[in-house]
Amino acid sequence: MMKKKMIAAISALCMAGIVYAPVGNMAHAEPVQSELTAETTASQDRIYCIASVSKMYSSLAVMQLVEEGKVELDAPVTKYLPDFKMDDGRYKDITVRMLMNHTSGIPLGLGINHYLYEDVDSFVHDNVFDVVSGLRLKADPGEYACYNNMGFSFMEHIVENVTGMSYTDYVKNNITLKIGADHTGTAWSLYAGDLGDTQVSLYRGSLPIEYPYQMTAGSGGIYATASDVANFGSVFFTGNDILLSDDAKTQMSTRWNDDAKYESYGLGWDFVEQVKYEKENIKVMGKGGDLPYMNSCLLVAPDEQISTAVLTAGNSSSQYAGLMASALMDVALEERGKAVSDLTPPEPKITDIIPDHYKKYEGLYYISNLYSTGLCRITFNNTAMYKEDLGTDNASPERFKITGDGGFVKVNDSGRMTSDREIVYFEEKDGGVYIRTDKFTVYPGLGNTADSMYTGEKMKENPVPRNVQQRWDELSQTVFVTYNEKWTSWQYESPFYRVVTDKAFPGYILVKNSAGARVEKLTGEDHAGFFTTIPSSANRDLFDIEITGQTYADKTLAASLNLSDGTRCRSVDSLPVFTADITEISLHSSEAVWYRIGKDMDGKSIAVERPDNSAVFVYNKFRELLYSTHIKDAVNTIDLPADGYIAFIGETGGSVKIFK
């Protein structure tokens, strides 16, 4: 009853669907309209991007081709993608299966121009092989699983090359039409040429921002209603052969590796085992997804024939969509006579004295929480371990006490464990020292989660010549701003980057923007690169950096900070000043026109006359977005903040006229 009340309370904040398979007729499973789902299935015609749950559609598509004998799971990817090449000979060993279970070793997640406002563009699709051509692998193919978006972009191309039809058409003809998913498609089928009114706007304080479209259908660009997604989940029910055989579905729901220390990826699935359900001998597979302002989760219990889907919008995460989907699953299971209880927190026994041999683990560590990384220093005294974040303003080290099994549990200032449990273990393997973290998190009123994965790696000293360190120290004194994304790109909401150096971690840098930070190892005056070997998804979305000289459209010669994902950034110190005498600005397709706001324009307003394919962005001195022409019902009068920034982005041949 408690969970039913919780679902009713939250249902107004998200779109949710649940499907039971009617006995003897699994091909026509329908959403259930009951006390449980009456409110959650309201407004089910609202279409949201389902983010990385889209990977289940590309995985299913490839498995269909496997069953037809057109694709071999363990054949090299190059057999189906002859244009795929990397600057690392090991790429030839990557198989189709490795793309699907995240073991390919490809470092990069997404390139530029992935999220676009009211724009459907094939740039990402057409340039995916160019983006990866100069990359090196982070591990031998098949060595370990690490979440990777790029592999599913490749799968989109595999479907197209093998079938001769667009991925959008394949999904329509071979998936959605066969299951009656009338409100499912890609940006190309739903929005190209007709933007429609199925999307909603997100109101963030004074900024109502439109949702960006996802340009990679295979990795994250399927759009659907919650009921359509839940119904799609029913195709994975045992005995439902409308799209796949049970043998194919069994392969998809099998762990990539039997070792419980590693994440339980299947083919497409984020997990094919979950402790909460495994303890009741119930198999549940799940897939979550996160995009800017959109989050999703799909859970399927194949033998119990229950599928739940939750889609949300806003600055949330798939963690919350997953909690809601799990609550729906629990109530559905209970109605089937299979009650599932929440997990109980671990109760490790704390001991008082830390043995001296743990001192060998003191040092500098690379730490990741999946989406952002950082540096920390770990030290010990006789009774506690301390973890101090570096390169941030956090001056209070976290404290851990040793447990009876050799782990270290996080404690509060009074030395007590909190309702959450974070326990770290040190492991030595292959000449390195790694941190594995068991984390039990309580979400009051929503439930709890238990996760275990490798999250850190002890860093080796990286002595570099004095001139190299000095060069990067100088770069750390400025701010860089993205200049090469398309005018419709979401990236211009948070385009600023900083390089951080510190005497506490010589030979390394932090590259930071509003989305988080990445740690890079200095390899020269103009180069830095990824270096970690953490065998988990903590090692995802890695890039190298190069500093080059660039002559910009305003004839200024200045440095360009180049990320291997395609991002190009310019120092704000090199930007021209926006002054009162500027009346017209020529636009360039390959380069945003950036200005610092001059003192004579502080606090003043301008009006602009611009071509259709263009955008204007304004930021304050803290580099926070104040104005965008992607704002819903954006006014034409723009207030300029003191010491802020303004960017004009569009296509070559166009110009923006300025009126004071």
- pLDDT 10s digits, 452-508: 999 999 999 999 999 999 999 999 999 999 999 999 999 999 999 999 999 999 999
**546/655 Cα distance (integer angstroms):** 31
Q: Percentage of the chain with pLDDT > 70?
A: 90
More confident of the two residues 312 and 372: 312
Model confidence at 36, in pLDDT bands (50, 70, 90)? very low
- DSSP assigned state of 419: S
Q: Is it the case that residue 29 has pLDDT exceeding 50?
A: no
Average pLDDT of span 304-319: 86
Average of pLDDT values for 118-142?
95
Q: What is the pTM of this model?
A: 0.92
- pLDDT category, 319, cuts 50, 70, 90? confident
Residue 372 pLDDT: 67
Residue 205 has pLDDT above 60, yes or no: no
pLDDT at 660: 84
No. of helices (H) and no. of strands (E), the chain: 14, 37
Contact (Cβ atoms closer than 8 angstroms) between residue 289 and residue 52? yes
Of 613, 602, 645, 607, the closest CA to residue 626 belongs to 645
The confidence score (pLDDT) of residue 5 equals 52
Residue 53 burial (C-beta neighbours within 10 Å; 0-12, 13-18, 19+): buried
Write down the pLDDT at residue 547: 97
Lowest mean pLDDT segment, chosen from 200-204, 233-237, 305-309, 597-601? 200-204
Q: What is the pLDDT of residue 659?
A: 93
pLDDT for residue 14: 58
d(CA 468, CA 523): 8
Percent residues over pLDDT 90 in the chain? 77
Q: For 105-127, what is the mean pLDDT?
A: 93
The whole-number average pLDDT for the span 600-627 is: 94
For residue 388, the model assigns a pLDDT of: 94
pLDDT at 30 over 50: no
Is the predicted pLDDT of residue 413 greater than 50, yes or no? yes
pLDDT at 23 (0 to 100): 33
Strands 516-524, 508-513: pairing kind: antiparallel
Residue 369 or 430, more confident: 430
Q: What is the pLDDT of residue 201?
A: 44
Displacement of CA 525 from its chain's centroid (Å): 30
The bridge status of strand 577-578 relative to strand 593-597 is parallel
pLDDT in tens, 619-639: 999 999 999 998 877 888 899
For the ranges 93-97, 205-209, 326-330, 483-487, the lowest mean pLDDT is seen at 205-209
Question: Given a cut of 50, is residue 304 above it in pLDDT?
Answer: yes
φ, ψ (nearest 5 deg) of residue 628: -150, 140
Assigned token pair, 104:
């390919």
Beta bridge pairs of residue 68: none
Per-residue pLDDT, averaged over 258-274, amounts to: 95
Average pLDDT, the chain: 89
pLDDT at 579: 94
Question: Running DSSP on this structure, what letter comes out for residue 341?
Answer: P
A 10 A CB-CB count for 192 gives 16
| Residue 444: per-residue pLDDT | 85
In degrees and rounded to multiples of 5, residue 72 shows phi and psi of -110, 130
Average pLDDT score over residue span 587-616: 94
**pLDDT for 486:** 97
Higher pLDDT, 69 or 448: 69
pLDDT of residue 394: 64
Contact indicator for 545, 134 with CB cutoff of 8 Å:
no
Hey, what are 48's tokens?
Answer: 């949201």
Overall average pLDDT of the 262-275 stretch: 96
